[in-house]
Amino acid sequence: MQVTGTEDVAAPIEHVFAELTAFDALERQAMRRGIDVRRQFRGAEPSIGESWDTTFRFRGKERSAKIILEAYDAPNTVQFGGASGGLETNTLIELVPLSPNRTRVNLVFKMNPKSLSARLLVQSFKLARSSINKRFQKRMSQLARDIESKVVKTA
């Protein structure tokens, strides 16, 4: 299953990329949502192949996932791979400069089930595809507005 989203942000590409790869802030945001995040690298910025281990509750069960940084091409692309049980994920974020102060964010999230339980999970997501796409697009719009508000504060 694949979920895609596109959003235009009124900010320079470098600023958008910096916000999307502010790993400290993203880790804190995940922790506020009840996700336990543990870095598996030293330093402020990971290099390709380094990862995070996460633990969270989903559908009443404690789950764990490993997220690996697979590509990092500033300020154009960042890609993550993940694995949780029998489910493999891939997230690709591409930034396209539309003008000096406008950037298009393209996000592609793919789920690839490797076990029967993962296939059932993905099948339930496919049945709810419409609501998932709406929530995904709403979240992308909110993220774009948050990035734009930070540009206004720093200008």
pTM here is: 0.90
Give pairs for 45-49: CB < 8 Å, separation 24+: 45/21, 46/72, 47/72, 48/72
pLDDT on residue 151: 84
Boundaries of every domain in the chain: 2-154
Say which CATH superfamily domain 2-154 falls into: START domain (3.30.530.20)
d(CA 154, CA 103) in angstroms, rounded, equals 17
pLDDT on residue 9: 96
Tokens of 37: 């995040």
pLDDT on residue 154: 61
Dihedral over Cα of 141, 145, 146, 151: its sign: positive
Q: Helix, strand or coil for residue 100? A: coil
Residues of the chain with pLDDT under 70: 152-155
pLDDT on residue 58: 87
Kindly report whether the peptide bond that precedes residue 75 is cis, defined as omega within 30 degrees of 0: yes
